[in-house]
Structure 1
Amino acid sequence: MTTLSGTEYEFALCLTHDVDKPFKTAYHALFYTLRERDPRHLRALRDQCNPYWQFEEIMALEEKLGVRSAFYFLNQPSLDSFPVCDLVDVSALTQEFGRYDVRESDVAELIQRLDDGGWEVGLHGSYHTATDRTRLAEEKTRIEEVLGKNIRGGRQHYLRFEAPETWQHYRDLGLKYDASFGSARKPGFGSGYDVFRPFGDDFVVFPLTLMDQHLPDPESEFQTAWTDCKTLLDTASSESAVMTCLFHPRYFNTREFPGYRRLYERLITEARDRGAWIGSPGEFYEEFLSHRGVVRDTQGEYIESIS
């Protein structure tokens, strides 16, 4: 382990949020109610509010805890640009009902408020951009035009990427890091304890350690979910690891997803008590990586560990 050697920190916890669907529609509510047989998804619309817009709550919570995270914004293309196979996929079409444009006034204002408050704003490359540099560049440009400055990095939607092609796109477009590398099905350090540099230059990969969807439902199995988190913190501490976690903003809606906000807060509090550095990947990059030499050049080893 090289990244945190010689620092005052035991390990690092990087906080991220993928902004997939900031707006919940009636179509979403019906789809998830039928799929999960849970009427809460319908009841959440009863008060004529948007239960997926949890940004103020997240910002207030992180402000209270004295930390900052990264928000990766998605720029879904229009339906007429989607492959035919997606247009006949019910699940894929359902995702389209939450499509948004970062240039919309409420989203653009949110992006500005996040940046003004010290949060990181980044790219959440849409489903087909893993091998499409032109589209990825367009999505990056739209975010930067709203933000008024360059972004440092991001993560691919559904963790879809092709190594090393997607990383080459990120690097050549001027991004400093990618946070897509890891398992969509289970938590852990299977993708490594440290960040690494697949090209031996200043471009860095942050392996994903923990995602909200990896965990048991904290409403009914909070202690089990917390035990999973604690086990990861134990490993991070013993290995002086860089641990990256992902909690989607909609999971902070306590009506539909009770327990996740409490779990997130406990994760941060416990990490802080253990002497961790806590912040966004972009902040971590600037503090520990931007002026240092090569961390690792072991791309092959990590690629084989993807699950």
Structure 2
Amino acid sequence: MQIPVGFTSVVEEFIAHNGLKMTYSKTPLGNEFFIRSNDLLFEQGVNDIDITVFSWEDTPCFFNTGSKSALPFDIFAASFYLISRYEEYLPQVRDEHDRFTAKQSFAFQNGFLEKPLVDIWALKFLEKLKERFPDYAYKTREYKFISTVDVDNAFAFKHKSLVRTIGGFLKDLSGFRLRNVWNRFAVLTNIKKDQYNTFDQVLKLQKNYQHKLLFFFLIGDYTTFDTNVSASKGKFRLLIKNIADYAKVGLHPSYFTMKDEVMLKKEKDRLEDILNRSVDKSRQHFLRFSLPETYQNLIDLEVAEDYSMGYASHVGFRASTCTPFYFYDLDFEIQTPLKIVPFALMDTTLNDYLGLTPKQSLGKIRDLRNEVKAVNGTFVTLFHNESMSDYLRWRGWKRVYASMIKIATS
């Protein structure tokens, strides 16, 4: 809402103030703008809360307040519950990658995962304030778009070790995947360009549409889940340096860094050594993070922004907002300096998890963009360089990224 806020518990100070003001307590002082408080923001620790969702002007909400309150629910406690990811601290069944799942989430179970509900609430709250304080000079924020690209595999065939290259040839031959054998041979002999080397088209689109662009490079050691080119390869290091000349570059911490601060530091140092500058942006590989441990480790390593807040299996708003916010650590009861930048959709979600066609995916992208634009929020998308390759499972997807950029910036 872009309204500066001050707090007081002194009644005389409150009465003397002439501008916008409201009370947040159990009972009003008089006839002032009043929101009845739920107990949540006055508690410490995490408890299993029984929540009843009801509708207010066709908008879901919870923490009912009663008739005296200017809003029928405690917007502050409800927003805090969603944005702090309170539910992710509670006991839960996690998926095969040890992740909190979308289907377990309060937002999914109550049908608002694909809506930036906190932003919608804020605008409805703003309308109520304008009715009560019409002379205040209210500001309006602007819609923003950020394209983020994860580089899990910079190259399909090039610059891999001899063992991986020979192993790939043998695996394709034994499976009679002759097209793959030809593609690998053609790329390695420079007859064809490497399929995953789509960086030029990403940068060209950024130049044409002038949107904010971020790359996250996976540079961890090789594992079953981390299969990028080795960070010791000169061509890979050169690629990262070249990309950093045109766009912001962040770290894509590998699969096993979720609770391993030593490994996380090693990878951050490695990327900083390549770039010869500090790295302050991050997104977890496989979106594997655990609250609050992963974020506490990022804070200890002076990472300023994390872009992992979203689900692999579903599009939408994991924290029910399309506005970047600072992580609140429920363990220590403090707001931290780590800014969380939530994303709305990922290419692999659309293709692999939801099984949408490119055309259906563009419809879903447009719907989510419209939700964000309606609240003048920040529309963040997650694509991979691989999905622009038109190769293997990405056949038919070559133009989806370019179309998404047009939709997001129109």
TM-score (norm 1): 0.72
| 1:104-123 CA distance string (max 9 Å, x none) | 21122122212222x01111
- The Cα of 1:38 is off from its aligned counterpart by 8.7
| 2:219 aligns with one of 48, 69, 75 | 75
Instruction: Kindly state the Cα deviation for residue 263 of structure 1 after the two structures are TM-superposed.
Output: 1.9
Offset, 1:12: 2.2
2:271 to 131, 140, 143: 143
Root-mean-square deviation (CA, aligned residues, Å) is 3.2
Amino acid at match of 1:74: L
Q: Which aligned pairs between 1:60-71 and structure 2 lie closer than 5 A?
A: 60-71=204-215
The residue number in structure 1 matching 2:358 is: 222
Tell me, in whole angstroms, the C-alpha distance in 1 between the residues paired with 2:231 and 2:316.
Answer: 32
Distance 1:136 1:126 in 2: 8
Separation in structure 2 between the aligned mates of residue 249 and residue 227 of structure 1, nearest angstrom:
21
Per the alignment, in what secondary structure is the counterpart of residue 47 of structure 1?
A: helix
1:147-296 matched pairs, under 5 angstroms: 147-193=275-321, 194-199=323-328, 200-216=335-351, 221-256=357-392, 257-273=394-410
Counterpart residue type for residue 404 of structure 2: L
1:174-218, Cα deviation, whole Å (9 max, x unpaired):
110111121110111242222221232431111221000121489
- Describe the shift of the 1:24–1:215 C-alpha distance in structure 2 as closer, same or farther (beyond 3 A): same
Which string of whole-angstrom CA distances, capped at 9 and with x for unpartnered residues, describes residues 113-137 of structure 1? 12222x0111100111111111101
Contact 1:75 1:126 in 2 (8 A): yes
Identity score, percent:
26
Q: Is the 8 A contact 1:192 1:207 kept in 2?
A: no
Instruction: Report the more deviating stretch, 252-261 or 233-242.
Output: 252-261
Once the 2 structures are TM-superposed, how far is the Cα of residue 65 of structure 1 from its aligned partner?
2.4
CA drift at 1:52: 1.6
Shift of 1:7: 5.7
- Distance verdict in 2 for CA 1:28–1:260, change over 3 Å: farther
Would you identify which runs of 4 or more consecutive aligned residues in structure 1 move more than 6 Å? Answer: 28-35, 37-40, 217-220
Post-superposition CA distance 1:158-184 (Å, at most 9, x none): 001111111111111011011112111
Which of 2, 5, 15 is matched with 2:147 structurally?
15
Q: Quick check: 1:18–1:246 contact (8 Å CA) kept in 2?
A: yes
Which is further off, 186-195 or 137-146? 186-195
Q: Taking structure 2 as the reference length, what is the TM-score of the superposition?
A: 0.55
Q: Check whether the contact 1:33–1:40 (CA below 8 A) recurs between aligned residues.
A: no
Cα distance, 1:69–1:32 mapped onto 2, change above 3 Å: farther
Is the aligned partner of 1:50 residue 2:194? yes
Point out where structure 2 has 5 or more consecutive residues left out of the alignment. 4-118, 120-137, 158-164, 188-192, 329-334
Q: Structure 1 residues 14 and 127 mapped into 2: Cα distance closer, same or farther (>3 Å)?
A: same
What displacement does 1:243 show? 2.4
SS in 2 for 1:267: helix
Q: 1:213 to 1:248 in 2, by over 3 A?
A: same
Do the aligned partners of residues 247 and 28 (structure 1) sit closer, same or farther apart at CA in structure 2, a change above 3 Å counting? farther
CA 1:40/1:237 → structure 2, altered by over 3 Å: closer, same or farther? farther
Aligned AA for 1:203? L
Match of 1:56, SS?
helix
Which of 139-148 and 62-71 deviates more?
Answer: 62-71
Q: Distance in 2 between matches of 1:235 and 1:204?
A: 22
CA distance 1:16–1:31, change in 2 (3 Å)? farther
CA separation of 1:229 and 1:151: change in aligned 2, threshold 3 A:
same
Q: Secondary structure at the match of 1:121?
A: strand
What letter matches 1:145 in structure 2? D
Paired AA for residue 12 in structure 1: K
Tell me if structure 2 keeps the 8 A contact 1:209–1:243: yes
Contact 1:40 1:255 in 2 (8 A): no
Contact 1:45 1:51 in 2 (8 A): no
1:44/1:255 contact within 8 Å kept: no
Q: For the Cα contact (< 8 Å) 2:2–2:141, is it kept in 1?
A: no
In 1, the alpha carbon distance for the partners of 2:170 and 2:216 equals: 26
- Following TM superposition, by how much is the alpha carbon of 1:30 offset from its aligned partner in structure 2, in angstroms? 8.4
Give the number of aligned pairs: 255
Q: Distance in 1 between matches of 2:371 and 2:212?
A: 23
Q: Which consecutive residues of structure 1, in runs of 5 or more, have no partner in the other structure?
A: 80-91, 274-307
AA matched with 2:400: L
Q: Looking at CA atoms only, which structure, 1 or 2, has the larger radius of gyration?
A: 2
**Does the CA contact (< 8 Å) of 1:73 and 1:102 recur in 2?**
no
Instruction: Name the SS for the 1:204 alignment partner.
Output: strand
Distance in 1 between residues matched to 2:212 and 2:182, nearest whole Å: 32
